[in-house]
Structure 1
Amino acid sequence: MTHAHLDRIEAVGPKVNATVTVLAAQALAMAEAADEAVAAGTAVGPFHGVPFTVKDSLDVAGVVTTRGSTLFKDHVADTDATAVALLRAAGGIPLAKTNLPEFSYWTETDNPLVGRTRNPWNAERTPGGSSGGESAAIAAGMSPLGLGSDVAISVRGPAHDTGIVALKATRGRIPVTGHWPEVPRRYWHVGPMARSVRDIATALGVLAGPDGEDGYVRHALPTPRAASAGEPRRLAGLRVGWASEPAFGPVDSEVTATVAAAADALRASAASWSRPLPPVWKPRRDSAERGAVHR
């Protein structure tokens, strides 16, 4: 798997410009050790032998963390960010650092050090930001799993732009220790990015929980009641709010239909739910026709 993703980085990397630093030698050595562990019958974690990429705002020990700036082009991290360390402990293999806007503060991925990352589906379009390098790498098949970070839209927007999946978990779930900038720490979120919801769910199970450093992370996570043998999993007591059309801007009809179907499925599982929120903003007709994006 590691060989295949390194080959893919070599093949499409120059066109997409999603990676900043590729850890080829280190990754291959770890992959070989992972194979040996399986052959020896050693207990393995949920991401054993799975390569993952890391937004270049998160530290990987012994590797340059540029933060998208020429000011940090020679900055080498001493330790792993907590999220990186947790994926390592689960058997994951750091494969590459991915591009970002300078200091993560923009909704497109471009900086004076590495340049612009391109959307692998259309090189004339953006993969979003600030985790656009991650989204582009995953969408292009250079990585099966990645770590991004989010304040306002920085994992969800890029996931939308490239057709992958990302999660901005509730603050207090995943430590942001080892992420830069640290301020405003209470608003930063580290989020997993992948090509399936199942992979995201597995990653959240690995990443969630306190690390003793990030004071915003809750020490007791809610645990759903376990279903008895043969009992269908139900969501009794869970309250779900949802909104689609009208929302805060134009929404594609297919998106609205998908969200409504998900709400119906949750209601059928005994979750209580609230109706869509009332309209708070409507686009001008000319803006909608031009396909303008309003935030």
Structure 2
Amino acid sequence: MNELLFEPISSIGEQLRTRAVSSVELVSAALEQIAETDNRLNAFPVVKAEEALASAEAADVELAQGRWRGPLHGLPVGVKDNIAVAGWVTTCGSPILAEHVTDFDAAVVERLRSAGAVVLGKNNMHEWALAGSCIQSVFGSTHNPWNTDHITGGSSGGSAAAVAAGQAFMSIGTDARASIRNPASYCGVVGLKPTHGLVSRFGELPPTSSWYMTLGPIARRVEDVALTMDAIAGYDPRDPSSADAEHREYAARLDGGVSGLRIAVVTNYFYSDTLPEVAENVRAAADTLANLGAEVVELEIGMLEHWPLIESSFEGENKGWLLELALERGGEFLHDDIRYRILASAFTNTVDTMRSTRILSMLRHEVQDLMRETDLLLTPTNSTPAYRADARDVAVREGSVDVEAPGGQGRITTRLTVPFNALALPAISVPCGFSSEGLPIGLQLVGRAFEDDMVLRAARAYEQAGQGYQRPTVVR
């Protein structure tokens, strides 16, 4: 195992710039790491070794000529398997697209390559990005690097597992409910769901109109995420949801600390299922931020208690495209839960949609009012640590949840994160301790729209206070 694979991006980027290490050396080490560990993880089912090494050689030529593109230049990275790469299969984890080869690069891949990054291959994901476990995929299940009997979370489970295990310095995931933050929490890494529209969705498959969906980075450190955001954020006219927002330098704004910031611990909704040991770690995180100079307060978001009514309409809004695809192309789905959610979308009616839209509007107004006087919200990322992949019933604060029942898995893996997709707010998950079984626990910080830099700044301050990435058992 090459220790360089676990360096911070800023450090390894500087070593590449000064030619203390070569891109070919790094990419070769990453490919070896995948070969040594992926039989236990199944995080990188598509690896393009020859293309990656050719890109690394080209990066080294540029570096030798003094043409440094930035901190990602020459670094091996991954992308989730619903992001288009020209000439590569893009399956979305589904048998229906098992042979689907895209003929163009997604905007985020274009930006990564423009920054000099070397894309190694595709990371595994849950079928159609529709669940938070990464158990169902055309490539098989992905396993948690902290305990391979447990789930990685999802749907970007392959991205989080690969980054945690040193297979890549960073991976791009997608997040419509939890799919960046949930696996980041379960695998002990950092995952940012940016403000909606900040990162182009052009080339994300399938090209849905969902207001909930964003693309963002998963990495081992907050600074690594910020450096990636510097490379991938920006307006793209090809994406109808792209926002022509003010450009911010995320990495340059990391070190402002939290002194003077008002951070609110949301005390309702987020704790009805949350296990005591998760709640205790999150409370300790709030205390740490207070000790760093933040004003930590408590508040409730009353309209969140009506979230199930909003969620029911979301099932229709976000799954109608899948019903059309199933009817058009045929094929099979790997799990009954996918069929259930397609049927649920078919029975969503106009009255349901109007009702949920009205309630969501009321929730948005409430949160906007609260955040006029509050800089950040603080919650758990998940109500439990990663559960066993073969579990049927998962213990929660009171009783248990049947994760095989319709809606059961979402109650465990996405319930605490999806409201911030609906609100289009930036949200990050950072490690905040471990369970009694040695599994990572995640802290979620949420900011105002387009103030992703403040979210990153607070996460960085917390991380530097002692709660950061640790190597999982699979690579110790």
Quick check: 1:21–1:98 contact (8 Å CA) kept in 2? yes
Asked if 1:174 is matched to 2:199, the reply is: yes
The Cα of 1:111 is off from its aligned counterpart by: 2.9
Q: Aligned pair in 2 of structure 1 residues 44, 111: CA closer, same or farther (>3 Å)?
A: same
**Alpha-carbon spacing, 1:217–1:127, altered in 2? closer, same or farther (3 Å):** same
Separation in 2, partners of 1:80, 1:10: 26
- Return the letter of the residue paired with 1:34: A
Pairing 1:57-72 to 2, within 5 Å after superposition: 57-72=82-97
Quote the offset at 1:263 in angstroms.
5.2
How far did residue 215 of structure 1 move? Answer: 2.2
Structure with a larger share of its residues in helix:
2
Q: Partners in 2 of 1:3 and 1:259 — Cα distance?
A: 41
Q: Counterpart amino acid of 2:106?
A: A
Partner residue in 2 for 1:217? 242
Contact 2:290 2:296 in 1 (8 A): no
1:257 aligns with 2:284: yes
Asked if the contact 2:80/2:159 (under 8 Å) is kept, the reply is yes
Contact 1:131 1:158 in 2 (8 A): yes
Map 1:88-237 → 2, pairs under 5 A: 88-221=113-246, 223=248, 233=256
SS of structure 1 residue aligned to 2:270: coil
Deviations 1:254-274 (A, max 9, x none): 32222343356464xxxxx67
Q: What SS class does the counterpart of residue 191 from structure 1 fall into?
A: strand
Matched, 1:16 2:41: yes
Q: CA deviation at 1:97?
A: 0.1
Does structure 2 retain, via aligned residues, the 8 Å contact 1:156–1:168? yes
C-alpha contact (below 8 Å) 1:248/1:279 kept by paired residues:
no
Map Cα deviations across residues 171-213 of structure 1 (whole Å, 9 max, x no partner): 0211111111222432210010000000001111111111111
Task: Describe the shift of the 1:35–1:169 C-alpha distance in structure 2 as closer, same or farther (beyond 3 A).
Answer: same
Conserved in 2, the CA contact under 8 Å of 1:244 and 1:259?
no
Query: Which residue identity lines up with residue 60 of structure 1 in the other structure?
Result: V
The question of 1:277 aligning with 2:299 is answered yes
SS in 1 for 2:211: helix
Q: 1:288 aligns with which of 391, 394, 397?
A: 397
Given the superposition, is the C-alpha separation of residues 95 and 289 from structure 1 closer, same or farther in structure 2, using an over 3 Å criterion? Answer: same
Which consecutive residues of structure 1, in runs of 5 or more, have no partner in the other structure? 268-272
Q: TM-score, normalised by structure 1?
A: 0.86
Is this contact kept in 1: 2:258–2:289, CA < 8 A? no
Distance in 2, matches of 1:185 and 1:84, equals 21
Aligned to 2:60: 35
CA gap of 1:161–1:172, structure 2 versus 1, over 3 A, is same
Q: Secondary structure at the match of 2:265?
A: coil
Q: Are the equivalent residues in 1 in contact too, given 2:153–2:183 (CA < 8 A)? A: yes
SS at match of 1:12: helix
CA contact 2:181–2:193 (8 Å) conserved in 1: yes
Match of 2:265 in 1: 243
Measure how far apart 1:12 and its partner are: 0.7
Superposition deviation, residue 288 in structure 1: 2.0
Question: In 1, distance between residues paired with 2:138 and 2:154?
Answer: 16
Residue 75 of structure 2 is aligned to residue 50 of structure 1: yes
What is the Cα deviation at residue 50 of structure 1?
0.5
8 Å contact kept, 1:242–1:263:
no
1:215-234: CA deviations, max 9, x gaps?
2222122659xx9xxxx958
SS of 1:193 mapped into structure 2: strand
Structure 2 distance, partners of 1:233, 1:166, is: 20
Partners in 2 of 1:234 and 1:16 — Cα distance? Answer: 36
Structure 2 gaps, min length 5 = 1-25, 306-382, 384-394, 402-410, 416-476
Compute the RMSD of aligned alpha carbons.
2.7
The 1:102/1:49 distance shift into structure 2, 3 A limit, reads same
| 2:286–2:296 Cα contact (<8 Å) kept | no
Structure 1: distance between partners of 2:92 and 2:293: 40
Change (3 A) 1:112 1:167: closer
Code of the residue aligned with 2:298 in structure 1: it is: P
Aligned-pair CA distance for 1:93: 0.5
Does the 8 Å CA contact 2:176/2:213 hold for their aligned counterparts?
Answer: yes
The one-letter code sitting in structure 2 at the alignment partner of 1:101 is H
Aligned amino acid, residue 258 of structure 1? A
* One-letter identity of the residue aligned with 1:168: K
1:270 is matched with none
Q: Is the 8 A contact 1:245 1:256 kept in 2?
A: no
CA offsets per residue over residues 54-90 of structure 1, 9 Å max, x none?
A: 1001011111101111111111111111111111100
Distance 2:257 2:187 in 1: 33
Q: Which residue, 103, 111, 114 being the options, matches 1:86?
A: 111
